[in-house]
Amino acid sequence: MTLSSESFKAARPRRVTPFVIVSVAISIGLADVTSAGTITGKVTSLLVKDTHHTVVYIDRIEGKTFDPPPDPGVIDQINKEFVPHVLPILKGGSVSFHNTDSFLHNIHTYQGRRTLFNVAVLGGGKPITKTFHEAGKVSVLCDVHPEMAAYILVLETPYSAVTDEEGQYKIDNVPSGSYTLKTWHETLEAVSQPVTIQSNETIELNLELE
Ligand SMILES: [Cu+2]
């Protein structure tokens, strides 16, 4: 006991400089994270079996634009299903379309009634990456398999989450301020809810969709 405590003390002076540098870096990192808040809650509805795949997001903030992340989002095609079924991205951001299946699919995207692009993806082939410049819903279909469908929601803020099987959502790192929180679900009406969040705060906001 005595021996190890002495050897710790003896080793300490040599560690002083790197230790201080590391601790400063960590506290700056924490300060950035904790100056923002979290919005969390549950989405429910009496009209559907579950509210999985609901997007909960902060709507456009007047006078504020965001740079899209450098890495694209990913939608894969696995066992004749698009995975994930719903993907929110930031306006100007990209999505890489993969095909893990061993057979041909295609990707036919619509925004409104307009085709954005329609490309074939060979089984196990190279992913195809596309950029989305206009906010709103993009439907993703495969003309080979009419049962396949996914949705990309192109948003004007990076503050969004998709509900899990239980309808739970959590939006982290929301800077303090007053916003409009909105929902998107493939069959249910959107709801819109004002929300004000302070630094370090976690707000619980449950939403019922009709
Ligand atoms: Cu397909």
* Element (DSSP H or E) covering residue 26: helix 2-34
Say how many Å lie between the CA of residue 145 and the centre of ligand 1: 4
Domain count, the chain: 2
State pTM to two decimals: 0.82
Q: How far is the CA of 97 from the centre of ligand 1 (A)?
A: 12
What is the token pair recorded at 148?
């396949």
Residue 138 belongs to a domain with what CATH number? Answer: 2.60.40.420
Rounded CA separation 141/4 (Å): 65
In a 13 Å sphere around the CA of 71, the CA atoms on its Cβ side amount to 3
Does one domain contain both 168 and 193? yes
CA of 109 to the centre of ligand 1 (A): 13
pLDDT in tens, 75-110: 999 999 999 999 999 999 999 999 999 999 999 999
Interval 146-198: pLDDT, tens: 999 999 999 999 999 999 999 999 999 999 999 999 999 999 999 999 999 99
Q: Are residues 64 and 106 in the same domain?
A: yes
Q: Is there a single domain that holds both residue 21 and residue 66?
A: no
Q: Residue 6 is part of which domain span? A: 1-34
Query: How buried is 27 (Cβ within 10 angstroms: 0-12 exposed, 13-18 middle, 19+ buried)?
Result: exposed
What is the distance in A from the centroid of ligand 1 to the CA of 141?
A: 8
| 28 and 77 together in one domain | no
Cis, peptide link before residue 68, omega less than 30° from 0: no
